[in-house]
Structure 1
Amino acid sequence: MRLVSIHNCEEGLILAKPLFDQNSRILLNEGSVLTLSFIHRLKAKNIHYVYVKSEITNDVEVNDNISTNLRFETASKLNEVFSNLKEGKVSKNKTIGRVGLIKDLNNVFEKIMKEMNSSKHLLNLLSHMQFSLDELFEHSVNTSLYALSIGKHMGLKDSELHILGLGALFHDIGKLKSKDNLKKEEAENNKDSWKRHPEVGFEMLRKESEFHLLIAHCAYQHHENFDGTGFPRGLKGTEIHLFPKIISIAEAFDHLITHKSLLPHEAMEVIVGRSFIRYDSKVVETFKNAVAIYPIGVTVELNTGETGVVIGYNKKYPQRPKVRIFKDSSGKKLQVHEFFEIDLLIALNIMIVKCDAIIERKKVNS
């Protein structure tokens, strides 16, 4: 199967995986043929990428670290918690723990931990973006998955990963109680007000007796910068706890992909460029090796002029994937029997110069 940007979809493509809406209902099933009407509807629902069938990669399987159903279940429980807070159903004398919401969310989170621990694959950064959730829920779930992946590769214990993951899920909860609930665009004109959300989140979470206090500090410190230029307290270096250091990278990475429309390798370049300034370089280095920045199924162009699709990667060096070539250096599409593979971990003189979710569609017989 191939990974395709919704903006590059054409009529006739055949879905290789089903698409879901935010209520976990199937929008289009596997095997559905995309029409212009379907493509417009998917764009309207903010579907970013789709997996489609292709003769180039009909033997390539994409493994998701977290099942679609579990992602929706997590978002649903998180939605319930956030909605209760936003609507004022949780008063000063009644925390979200007392109304039983944390217990339910913890149960779901245990399932996430189990699936991630049992997965033998690096986190596929685009596989989960085939459907759209509420912006804050989606950002929270994505940030948590990225943070867990980093923590797992740093050798954190399960008990530590649990705290880190929940801290990431709730890192932006303070935005629900900020008086003006500013969006990032509005923040440019009222930055001081927007900058209150880490403190607000800390005050909300530290009152939850069922939460480890570190979860509250994750919300409090996730906008602190390594060089001391962050907020709210201007902490730097070792003054910042490891968990919010991880979360700051994870949430920034998700923002670059989701809101700035950067592809994973482009977003990673931005993160790496901010090492020693915003981010701890050791955590950044771990992140580079914890995620598949070139997802299996994505199209890449090499410095040789050849075009191929990523079909695998080396866990220790995910930046150097295996590529199946289907176009030669002149742009001519090869016949199936002419396809060949290049392992960039061996061919060190060959580099990826462009990455995009574009596919050469095969005509569908009517």
Structure 2
Amino acid sequence: MRLVSINNCESGMVLAKPIYNEDARLLLNVGTTLTEAHINRIKKRIAFIYIKSEMTDDIIQVNDDIPYELRTKTIASISNVFSTIRNKPTNKVAITNRLSNFRSLKETFSNVVHELQRSSDHLNLISHLQINNDSMFEHSLNTSLYSLSIGRILGIPEKSLHILGLGALFHDIGKLQLPKSLLSKTDLTDEEKQVKRSHTEIGFEMLRKESELHLLVAHCAYQHHENVDGSGYPRGLKKNEIHQFARIITVAEKFDQLIREKAMLPHEAMEVLYGYCYIRYDIEIIDAFKKAVAIFPIGVTVTLSTGEQGVVIGYNQAYPQRPKVRIFRGKDGKKLSISEFYDIDLLTDLTTMIVKCDAIIERKTKVIK
């Protein structure tokens, strides 16, 4: 099984995992031989796919940490709840629907927490990027999954993990009350920056009044832009003055932003987080995140600094940014036959680096804000 960008798919490739749309409806099943029509049909909604590959079928078993159907159901539930929070109901029927949406999300999210708790594998970072969707709902769920994985490594009890996960889901909800043009604008005036920053206080006020949510969920929204050195907002709190859950969420949501918006490779995003430890982020939380995730999961296609191209076939627990790679295209760009494949362990070959990951479609200019 091999993970490839939809932009690098070719006719004749055979699907190793099913493809679903945003509503969890099956588009193409396992065993489908791709045609140009198939590829063009799914290109706008899918970022990458798993295909069958003779070079790795003997050693690779790729498991999703969250079943795709559960993931899409959770995103739909988040969308429904965000909508009801934004449009505060006034009549009895609307209020009943609002409570129903909240309870449905909490029930669905309990299944998410359960799936993560029962998994013994590292969280597969790249599996969260399959849909070409930059919505707040995708960002909220990714942030929640990363936060839960960190929490699990830190030994947070399951009951508290539910609160952490919901806090991460709702961390940016205050942005619903801000103009969309402001959220997408990059060159903000000082006044506009202050307005944008107000989403933490707006989110707190929105969530603290929700009877279906623990008050700590509201505090996660309030504190997730506080920095451990006191340079954050809205109150300029320092390390232990910031709740542990908020410190976790700020790491998780920044990582997702770097991967999704800046198109960084996972290990590059992790390096950025480490660059800000003791300033913005808690080093203990970043260390826990590194232990929790598979930065380059088995099956992903990578390009090395030597020009060689291969598939990740294993990773070292202590140094996940230095995986084992099976090479199928040589330094000269020539595709190798099966008998010519060879393996490189980047933990022993320290002069060779991963420079491109096929799951990251475009490398954008990296500007850290």
Tell me the TM-score normalised to structure 1 length.
Answer: 0.87
Residue 87 of structure 1 is matched in structure 2 by 87
**Cα distance between partner residues in 2 of 1:134 and 1:342:** 35
**Cα distance between partner residues in 2 of 1:208 and 1:88:** 11
Q: Tell me the secondary structure at the aligned position of residue 213 of structure 2.
A: coil
Conserved? CA contact 1:19–1:26, under 8 Å = yes
Correspondence 1:59-70 to 2 at 5 A? 59=58, 60-70=60-70
- Is 2:204 the counterpart of 1:205? no
Conserved? CA contact 2:134–2:260, under 8 Å = no
Q: Tell me the secondary structure at the aligned position of residue 100 of structure 1.
A: helix
Q: Tell me the secondary structure at the aligned position of residue 99 of structure 1.
A: helix
- The one-character-per-residue Cα deviations of 1:187-244 (angstroms, maximum 9, x if unpaired) are 7242221111111111111112332221111100111122222221122222211111
Conserved? CA contact 1:6–1:39, under 8 Å = yes
Q: Give the one of 322, 325, 331 matched to 1:323.
A: 325
> Residue 62 of structure 1 aligns to which amino acid in structure 2?
V
Q: Tell me the secondary structure at the aligned position of residue 162 of structure 1.
A: helix
**Cα distance between partner residues in 1 of 2:90 and 2:327:** 56
- Percent of matched pairs sharing the same residue: 53
Residue 126 of structure 1 is matched in structure 2 by 126
**Cα distance between partner residues in 1 of 2:194 and 2:10:** 45
**Cα distance between partner residues in 1 of 2:90 and 2:273:** 37
- Relative to 1, partners in 2 of residues 1:198 and 1:326: Cα closer, same or farther, differing over 3 Å? same
Q: CA deviation at 1:246?
A: 0.9
**Cα distance between partner residues in 1 of 2:224 and 2:243:** 9
- Relative to 1, partners in 2 of residues 1:156 and 1:316: Cα closer, same or farther, differing over 3 Å? farther
**Cα distance between partner residues in 2 of 1:24 and 1:180:** 27
Residue 267 of structure 1 is matched in structure 2 by 269
Stretch moving more, 35-44 or 55-64: 35-44
Q: CA deviation at 1:351?
A: 4.1
Tell me the TM-score normalised to structure 2 length.
Answer: 0.87
**Cα distance between partner residues in 2 of 1:186 and 1:348:** 40
**Cα distance between partner residues in 1 of 2:112 and 2:79:** 17
Correspondence 1:25-174 to 2 at 5 A? 25-45=25-45, 47-59=46-58, 60-89=60-89, 99-132=99-132, 135-174=135-174
Q: Give the one of 234, 244, 250 matched to 2:236.
A: 234
Stretch moving more, 309-318 or 297-306: 297-306
**Cα distance between partner residues in 2 of 1:234 and 1:90:** 36
> Residue 131 of structure 2 aligns to which amino acid in structure 1?
F
Correspondence 1:278-297 to 2 at 5 A? 278-297=280-299
> Residue 324 of structure 1 aligns to which amino acid in structure 2?
R
Q: CA deviation at 1:301?
A: 4.0
- Relative to 1, partners in 2 of residues 1:36 and 1:192: Cα closer, same or farther, differing over 3 Å? farther
- The one-character-per-residue Cα deviations of 1:33-91 (angstroms, maximum 9, x if unpaired) are 4444443443323x222222222222322111000011011112111111112233368
Q: Tell me the secondary structure at the aligned position of residue 64 of structure 1.
A: coil
Conserved? CA contact 1:19–1:130, under 8 Å = no
**Cα distance between partner residues in 1 of 2:162 and 2:215:** 13
Residue 362 of structure 1 is matched in structure 2 by none
Residue 361 of structure 1 is matched in structure 2 by none
In structure 2, the gaps of 5 or more residues are 360-369
- Relative to 1, partners in 2 of residues 1:334 and 1:36: Cα closer, same or farther, differing over 3 Å? closer
Aligned positions, number: 355
**Cα distance between partner residues in 1 of 2:171 and 2:99:** 21
Q: Tell me the secondary structure at the aligned position of residue 188 of structure 1.
A: coil
Conserved? CA contact 2:89–2:98, under 8 Å = no
Residue 218 of structure 1 is matched in structure 2 by 220
> Residue 239 of structure 1 aligns to which amino acid in structure 2?
E
- Is 2:247 the counterpart of 1:248? no
Conserved? CA contact 2:328–2:335, under 8 Å = yes
Conserved? CA contact 1:206–1:213, under 8 Å = yes
- Is 2:334 the counterpart of 1:335? no
Conserved? CA contact 2:164–2:245, under 8 Å = yes
> Residue 101 of structure 2 aligns to which amino acid in structure 1?
L
Q: Tell me the secondary structure at the aligned position of residue 182 of structure 2.
A: coil
Q: Tell me the secondary structure at the aligned position of residue 10 of structure 2.
A: coil
CA RMSD across the alignment: 2.7
Q: Tell me the secondary structure at the aligned position of residue 302 of structure 2.
A: strand
